[in-house]
């Protein structure tokens, strides 16, 4: 059994290393953590019900069939959240071993009489029932990955 070497920086001394270059990877991870855009924290808090969030809400949804396509239109009320800091998607669980379906919805016109309500739309093949799909709002920033179980996802249903 080999003797474990410890990382040289005391902030991550609890991590045993066996891979050459671990110190460099650790430094990179710390730099990424400290370079987080904390302006996004406000958006996350507004979406997280555990932090008193859920300022967003869904309005009416319409689903129409256009040939071999389901056409979805969803009203989303952002209540002051910058529309560029969220993404609205159609989501469906994977079937027969395939991955989930995630379709970006396009932000359309502002809703009349709503300060920050928008109509979002998307089309998907009608190979599956329209009821397999649900809309969701997630925080958005380039390079940001959102786990499916995150509290910051607002699901339509």
Max intra-chain CA distance, the chain: 70
Is the pLDDT assigned to residue 129 strictly greater than 80? yes
pLDDT band at 154 (very low <50, low <70, confident <90, very high): confident
Beta-bridge mates of residue 8: none
Q: Which residues of 80-92 are buried (b: 16+ CB within 10 A; e: fewer)?
A: ebeeebbbbbbbb
CA 142, distance to chain mean position in Å, is 11
Q: Which of 1-10, 109-118, 129-138 has the lowest mean pLDDT?
A: 1-10
- CA-wise closest residue to 95 among 128, 69, 70: 128
What percentage of the chain exceeds 70 in pLDDT? Answer: 57
Domains in the chain, please, with CATH? 39-155 (2.60.40)
Is the pLDDT assigned to residue 136 strictly greater than 60? yes
Is the pLDDT assigned to residue 98 strictly greater than 70? yes
Average pLDDT, the chain: 75
The rounded distance, in Å, linking the Cα atoms of 12 and 15 is: 6
Residue 34 confidence (pLDDT) = 45
């Amino acid at each position: 059994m080999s003797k474990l070497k410890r990382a040289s920086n005391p902030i991550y001394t609890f991590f045993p290393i066996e891979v050459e270059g671990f110190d460099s990877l650790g430094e990179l991870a710390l730099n990424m953590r400290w370079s987080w855009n904390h302006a996004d924290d406000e958006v996350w808090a507004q979406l997280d019900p555990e932090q008193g969030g859920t300022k967003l809400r869904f309005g009416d949804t319409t689903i129409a069939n256009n040939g071999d396509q389901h056409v979805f239109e969803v009203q989303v009320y952002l209540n002051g959240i910058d529309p560029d800091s969220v993404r609205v998607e159609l989501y469906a669980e994977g079937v027969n071993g395939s991955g989930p379906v995630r379709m970006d919805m396009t932000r359309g016109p502002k809703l009349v009489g709503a300060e920050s309500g928008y109509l979002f739309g998307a089309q998907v093949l009608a190979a599956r029932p329209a009821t397999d799909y649900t809309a969701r709002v997630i925080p958005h920033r380039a390079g940001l990955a959102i786990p499916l179980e995150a509290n910051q996802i607002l699901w339509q249903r």
